C-alpha cells in the first residue's frame, strides 16, 4: 500500500453554512481534510455569486489548511494579486475565462501562490497542452460550474484518465483535482482514473451525520479504490 498515491480531500465552502464559515473551516480541518476549497463566483462566468478575497482573508485567521481558491470569474487576472495577498495558497483560473492564460498562470506564481487551471466539462484537454510547465494544479470540472449538489458527468472519467496520462508523460507533478458530484460512489471511479485531489461540497458539509462523517466516507472510498487496484 505504501506506493499508493496520496489522495487529498478539499471540502468546498459552497455547501457550508454561509453564516458560519469559520466553524466550517475548523470542522473540515478537525476531520483531517488537507485543503479548504473556495468557490469564487461573479455572476458572469457562472450564473451564481458567492464571495471574494475578503472572505479568504478573514478565514486565514481560522485555518492552517491549504487554501484552494477556484475562481469562476471572467478576466481572473484582475484579482490574482488580491487573492494571493488575502492568503490563497493555490489560485485556479478557468482556461475559458483568461485570454492570455500563460501570462495569467505565470502571474499567479509571481505573486507567491501555486497556479491552477480549470477546464469546464466541454473544454478539451488540449486547451492546456502548452501551459503544462506553468501549472501546479489541473482542475477537471466534473459538473458545469455554478452550483453545488449537481450530478457527476460520467464522460469526465475518460477526461480524467487522459489528463493523468498527459501529466505523467510531461513529467509534471501537478495535482490532478476533480470538482463536482464527488461522493462515496464516484470517488473510487475518479481515483482509479487518476485524480489526486477531491473537491466535495455536499458530500462533506451536507452529510447527514456531520462533516467528520462526510470526510471519513470519502477517505474510506479512496482506500477501497486503492485496495482493489
Ligand atoms: C461547482 C463548484 C464546486 C461545488 C461542488 O461550481 O466548483 O466546488 O462546490 O459541489 P458538490 O460537491 O456538491 O458537487
Ligand atoms: Zn470548485
- Give the residue-averaged pLDDT of 107-125: 98
In angstroms, the Cα distances linking 45 to 42, 51, 136 are 6, 14, 23
| Residue 36: its H or E element | strand 35-41
Helix/strand/coil (H/E/C) assignment for every residue in 183-223: CCCCHHHHHHHCCCEEEECHHHHCCCCCHHHHHHHHHHHHH
Dihedrals φ, ψ of 55, to 5°? -70, -40
Residue 68 falls in the annotated catalytic set: no
Atom index in ligand 1 nearest the CA of residue 14 equals 9
User: Which residue among 148, 150, 217 is best mutated to probe the pocket of ligand 1, counting the most ligand atoms within 8 A of its Cβ?
Assistant: 148
Q: What percent of the chain has pLDDT over 90?
A: 97
CA–CA separation, 146 and 35 (whole Å): 20
Atom index in ligand 1 nearest the CA of residue 48 equals 6
Which of 42, 89, 134, 179 is flagged as catalytic? 179
The pTM (predicted TM-score) of the whole model is 0.97
Atom index in ligand 1 nearest the CA of residue 143 equals 1
Ligand 1 centre to CA of 81 (Å) is 24
Query: Using one digit for the tens of pLDDT, what is the confidence trace for 11-43?
Result: 999 999 999 999 999 999 999 999 999 999 999
Residue 39 falls in the annotated catalytic set: yes
Rg (CA), the chain: 16
Q: Give all strands (DSSP E) within 60-174, no chain letters.
A: 66-72, 90-94, 114-119, 137-141
Query: Using one digit for the tens of pLDDT, what is the confidence trace for 47-90?
Result: 999 999 999 999 999 999 999 999 999 999 999 999 999 999 99
Asked whether 11 lines ligand 1 (CB < 6 A), one says no
Query: Using one digit for the tens of pLDDT, what is the confidence trace for 134-179?
Result: 999 999 999 999 999 999 999 999 999 999 999 999 999 999 999 9
What does the block give as the cell for 152? Answer: 457527476
CA–CA separation, 194 and 139 (whole Å): 12
CA–CA separation, 217 and 148 (whole Å): 18
In angstroms, the Cα distances linking 189 to 25, 109, 174, 214, 224 are 27, 32, 20, 18, 11
User: Which residue among 17, 39, 117 is best mutated to probe the pocket of ligand 1, counting the most ligand atoms within 8 A of its Cβ?
Assistant: 39
Dihedrals φ, ψ of 156, to 5°? -70, -15
Contact status, residue 195 vs residue 178, Cβ threshold 8 Å: yes
Amino acid at each position: 500500500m505504501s506506493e499508493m498515491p496520496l489522495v487529498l480531500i478539499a471540502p468546498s465552502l459552497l455547501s457550508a453554512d454561509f453564516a458560519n464559515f469559520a466553524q466550517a473551516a475548523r470542522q473540515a480541518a478537525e476531520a483531517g481534510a488537507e485543503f479548504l476549497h473556495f468557490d469564487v463566483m461573479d455572476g458572469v462566468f457562472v450564473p451564481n455569486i458567492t464571495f471574494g478575497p475578503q472572505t479568504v482573508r478573514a478565514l486565514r485567521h481560522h485555518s492552517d489548511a491549504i487554501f484552494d481558491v477556484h475562481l469562476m470569474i471572467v478576466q481572473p487576472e484582475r484579482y490574482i494579486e488580491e487573492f494571493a495577498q488575502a492568503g490563497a495558497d493555490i489560485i485556479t483560473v478557468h482556461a475559458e475565462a483568461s485570454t492570455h492564460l500563460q501570462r495569467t498562470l505565470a502571474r499567479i506564481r509571481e505573486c507567491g501562490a501555486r497556479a491552477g487551471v480549470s477546464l469546464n466539462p466541454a473544454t478539451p484537454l488540449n486547451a492546456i497542452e502548452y501551459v503544462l510547465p506553468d501549472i501546479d494544479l489541473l482542475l477537471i470540472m466534473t459538473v458545469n460550474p455554478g452550483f453545488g449538489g449537481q450530478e457527476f458527468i460520467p464522460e469526465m472519467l475518460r477526461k480524467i484518465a487522459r489528463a493523468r496520462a498527459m501529466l505523467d508523460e510531461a513529467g509534471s507533478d501537478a495535482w490532478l483535482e476533480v470538482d463536482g458530484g464527488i461522493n462515496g460512489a464516484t470517488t473510487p471511479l475518479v481515483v482509479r482514473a487518476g485524480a489526486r485531489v477531491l473537491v466535495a461540497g455536499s458530500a462533506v458539509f451536507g452529510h447527514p451525520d456531520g462533516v467528520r462523517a462526510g470526510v471519513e466516507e470519502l477517505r474510506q472510498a479512496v482506500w477501497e479504490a486503492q485496495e482493489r487496484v
